[in-house]
Amino acid sequence: MKKIAFLFPGQGSQSVGMGLDFYQEYDFVREIFDTAEEVTGLKISELCFKGPMGDLTKTINLQPSITAVNLACLAAIEKQGIKPDISAGHSLGEYSALYASGVIPIEDTFRLVFKRGELMHRESTKHKGAMHALIGLSIETVQKLIDNIQTKGVVSVANHNAEHQIVITGSPGSVKELASIAASHKARAIPLKVSGAWHSELMKGAVKEFEEFLGTVSFNNPECSIAHNVTGDFNNGLDEIRAIMAKQLYNPVRWHDSMCRIVEKKVDIFVEIGPGRVLSGLLKKILPKNSHCKIYNVNNLKSFEQFCKAVST
């Protein structure tokens, strides 16, 4: 049997119209959107299918919206009897990975991502933040630059996405200063359109309340291995998972490490489940040049059919 890893995207993969063809095709997808709307009180289907992008990208709207599309695509795959051996999700996408692994039911998945979005939005209004992507430097070099910078504001690594693709986060002035220093070291520094300093100390004000909220959710033993953002490794104890998900708010996403650990497990097929192709693009940079792994996306009906055909052969 071929070993399969499911990967779920997070914020940044959205587009207006995402999930529409699945919604029109399948009753069970419409039920997923109905559940999302009942839990959140938001018009998730309208946000996903009509936007406008300005409303969709507000983190309080975006987190349950992307999750709904992730779970819609996943449901179509599951109807074909395809299950993962390993699951992982990038930042917000980690909640879809928990659901795919049987750790949390669908209602609690939407409750968690909606609460997470509310708290992150609240902290972003209290503490102005910024994020820049740095292309061309190693994580060690970026960390040294952070350690050496003389600044009164917060700046740290938010995402280690690939070997030489790192996102920094923190106070606007400090992030801009570090981006300028990185550019002097021949890195490309790209400002990101975000409304907060995600995965930084500026999110710590949300942690206690989110920990308490996590305590209201019953976690089940995972049905497959889960590679986590905070540790960059497999952690499947229930208390450990619960603690990790609270820490995820202010800790860096160690995506590169997570993918390297999954590759070590001799995975044959990776499939990115949800809108966009961000994770597939990162994976192509991470996989060894001699890798025979196959990479698929399932983000619309056509790609879903192609994936199912490939897996069945």
Catalytic residues: 91, 199
Contacts of 268 (CB under 8 A, 6+ apart): 2, 3, 4, 292, 293, 294
Which tokens hold the place of 177? Answer: 């200063």
The strand pairing partners of 225, in sequence order, are: 86
Q: 209 exposed, middle or buried (CB, 10 Å; 0-12, 13-18, 19+)?
A: middle
Interatomic CA distance for residues 286 and 262, integer angstroms: 11
DSSP of 44-109, one letter per residue?
HHHHHHH--HHHHTSHHHHHHHHHHHHHHHHHHHHHTT---SEEEESTTHHHHHHHHTTSS-HHHH
Could you give the strand order of the β-sheet that contains 4-8, starting from the edge strand earlier in sequence?
Answer: 225-226, 86-89, 4-8, 269-273, 294-298
Structure tokens at 137: 């430097």
Cis amide bond preceding 84, omega within 30:
no
User: Could you give the CA distance from residue 18 to residue 31 in angstroms, rounded to a whole number?
Assistant: 16
Q: Is 250 helix (H, G, I), strand (E, B) or coil?
A: coil
Structure tokens at 225: 């291995």
Q: How do 269-273 and 225-226 pair as beta strands?
A: unpaired
